[in-house]
């Protein structure tokens, strides 16, 4: 790739692609207002949080206004992984324990602590298996801890709001509510990973956890926050922040620097000014309808496949393919379609335990016309 603008990417051989799978440039690749905010602040002042400057206060206030009132403390870092790592430290200070409950196929980042909470990593190639202090809950299911004898009481339940690497799994509302209630009844807390699903992406709500009517104790943020500029954050309750006041300072050289704060502020403004959450709702609902209405049967070469499920919310969707005869995952069909779509100028990807889920999570400026074009081209199969 040699360039990009909004939902389009340009390759060295002169082709234009419609980016249907990059949720990091949230408002659009190289969005002019966000680029300008970064350039302006970079030329004015860039320093760290040992100094006082307005940008951080303005950004923190604006960002916290998007959360339920109890979530009113924020720590700034530079990646989703650093946010997970810090959330683990906060959780352990607050609960006094290190037993975790995680969703199967979850991914929470690349630090040692984050990998230890990520079955997507520790249970796959090169992984060392499940750590002793971690319990895995299958998705979606009533869960191993709900009343099972011998199940350890988790101190912290860590959950992506829609489980991306598991294949865009939306969790049942009662599952989330029961799991959170159960963990809390035993003195534990709930950490929502909004690195993929936050900032209006799920369309119907600003945060993914709001789809389930649950309020987390800690929320971790990343990817879309800086539209590609490396930013992350941990948002938590006052009492959790207090538990972290051990005397040991928390300092991040780059977290919350003025350039990042101005960029983050511009991202929030663009989401509002351009109605991006509403766009995600309308375009996402349209695609869900199209794909649900489309033929459930599809042929790739001489073989027949079946759309097992179309799922997700807003601009965070997945299409799961299975083999007709056996109901087994149709990995080869999903990969074939994604490759063919690339030839047609549409960038998609596959994910899920068997790589048989076609994944869709484009920049939020993805328009209805783009959606129609995508549905028409994908319509050859689905
Ligand atoms: C759900 C989730 N959490 C955390 C992370 C880690 O974020 P980063 O790559 O910014 O460290 C990712 C990255 O893919 C993610 O998808």
pTM strictly above 0.85: yes
Q: Is the CB of 81 under 6 A from ligand 1?
A: yes
Q: Is 144 found in the same domain as 19?
A: no
Which range marks the domain in which residue 324 is found?
3-27+276-378
Residues 214 and 251 in one domain: yes
Nearest CA residue ID for atom 14, ligand 1: 109
Q: Are residues 123 and 266 in the same domain?
A: yes
The answer, yes or no, to whether any atom of ligand 1 lies below 6 A from the CB of 80, is yes
255 lines ligand 1 (CB under 6 A): no
Q: What DSSP letter does each residue of 283-343 carry, written as one string?
A: HHHHHHHHHHHS-SEEEETTEEEEEEEEEEETTEEEEEEEETTT--B-HHHHHHHHHHHHH
Specify the 3-state DSSP secondary structure of 198.
coil
Give yes or no: residues 347 and 252 share one domain.
Answer: no
Residues 246 and 287 in one domain: no
Same domain for 157 and 181, yes or no, is: yes
Residue nearest to atom 13 of ligand 1 (CA): 109
Domain limit, last residue, from 213, 239, 273:
273
Q: Same domain for 81 and 20?
A: no
Residues 6+ apart with CB under 8 A from 201: 23, 26, 208, 224, 280, 314, 315, 316, 361, 364
Q: Which residues contact 6 (CB under 8 A, 6 or more apart)?
A: 28, 29, 30, 31, 363, 365
Looking at the structure, tell me whether residues 112 and 239 fall in a common domain. Answer: yes
Write the CATH number for 61: 3.40.640.10
- Dist. CA 66–CA 207, nearest whole Å: 9
Q: Whose CA is nearest to atom 3 of ligand 1?
A: 108
Kindly give the confidence (pLDDT) of every residue in the chain, 382 residues in length, as a single tens digit, with 9 standing for 90 and above.
Answer: 999 999 999 999 999 999 999 999 999 999 999 999 999 999 999 999 999 999 999 999 999 999 999 999 999 999 999 999 999 999 999 999 999 999 999 999 999 999 999 999 999 999 999 999 999 998 875 444 444 445 678 999 999 999 999 999 999 999 999 999 999 999 999 999 999 999 999 999 999 999 999 999 999 999 999 999 999 999 999 999 999 999 999 999 999 999 999 999 999 999 999 999 999 999 999 999 999 877 688 888 888 999 999 999 999 999 999 998 898 999 999 999 999 999 999 999 999 999 999 999 999 999 999 999 999 999 999 8
The ligand 1 atom at the shortest distance from the C-alpha of residue 79 is 10
C-alpha 141: how far from its chain's center? Answer: 21
301 CA → ligand 1 middle, Å: 36
| Shared domain check, 292 and 254 | no
Which of ligand 1's atoms lies nearest the C-alpha of 111?
A: 11
Q: Count the domains in the chain.
A: 2
Q: Which of 140, 108, 165, 167 is nearest to 317 (CA)?
A: 167
- For residue 73, the SS3 value is strand
Is the domain of 343 the same as that of 360? yes
Q: Which of 273, 292, 317 is the last residue of a domain?
A: 273
Statement to judge: residues 117 and 244 lie in one domain: yes
In this structure, what CATH number is given to the domain that contains residue 19?
3.90.1150.10
Do residues 267 and 196 both lie within one domain? yes
Of ligand 1's listed atoms, the one at least distance from the Cα of 230 is 10
Decide whether any atom of ligand 1 lies within 6 Å of the 222 Cβ.
yes
Please say which residue of 273, 300, 324 terminates a domain.
273
């Amino acid at each position: 790739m040699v360039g990009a603008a909004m939902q389009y990417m340009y390759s060295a051989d002169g082709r234009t692609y419609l980016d249907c799978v990059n949720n990091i440039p949230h408002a659009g690749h190289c969005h002019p207002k966000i680029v300008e905010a970064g350039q302006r602040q970079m030329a004015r002042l860039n320093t760290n949080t040992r100094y006082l400057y307005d940008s951080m206060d303005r950004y923190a206030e604006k960002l916290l206004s998007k959360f339920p009132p109890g979530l009113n403390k924020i720590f700034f870092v530079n990646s989703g992984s650093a946010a997970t790592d810090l959330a683990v430290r906060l959780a352990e200070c607050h609960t006094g324990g290190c037993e975790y409950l995680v969703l199967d196929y979850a991914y929470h980042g690349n630090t040692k602590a984050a990998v230890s909470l990520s079955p997507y990593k520790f249970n796959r190639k090169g992984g060392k298996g499940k750590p002793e202090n971690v319990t895995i809950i299958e998705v979606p299911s009533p869960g191993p801890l709900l009343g099972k004898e011998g199940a350890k009481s988790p101190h912290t339940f860590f959950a992506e709001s829609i489980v991306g690497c598991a294949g865009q799994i939306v969790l049942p509302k009662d599952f989330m509510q029961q799991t959170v209630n159960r963990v809390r009844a035993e003195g534990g807390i709930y950490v929502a990973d909004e690195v993929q699903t936050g900032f209006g992406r799920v369309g119907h709500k600003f945060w993914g956890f709001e789809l389930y009517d649950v309020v987390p104790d800690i929320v971790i943020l990343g990817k879309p926050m800086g539209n590609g500029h490396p930013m992350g954050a941990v948002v938590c309750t006052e009492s959790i922040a207090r538990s972290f006041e051990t005397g040991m300072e928390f300092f991040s050289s780059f977290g919350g620097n003025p350039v990042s704060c101005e960029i983050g502020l511009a991202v929030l403004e663009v989401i509002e000014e351009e109605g991006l959450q509403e766009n995600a709702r309308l375009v996402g609902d349209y695609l869900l309808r199209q794909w649900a209405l489309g033929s459930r049967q599809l042929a790739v070469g001489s073989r027949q496949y079946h759309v097992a499920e179309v799922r997700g919310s807003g601009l965070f969707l997945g299409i799961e393919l299975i083999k007709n005869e056996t109901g087994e995952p149709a990995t080869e069909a999903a990969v074939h379609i994604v490759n063919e779509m690339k030839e047609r100028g549409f960038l998609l990807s596959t994910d899920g335990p068997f790589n048989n889920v076609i994944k869709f999570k484009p920049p939020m400026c993805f328009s209805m016309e783009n959606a129609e074009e995508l549905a028409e081209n994908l319509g050859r199969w689905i």
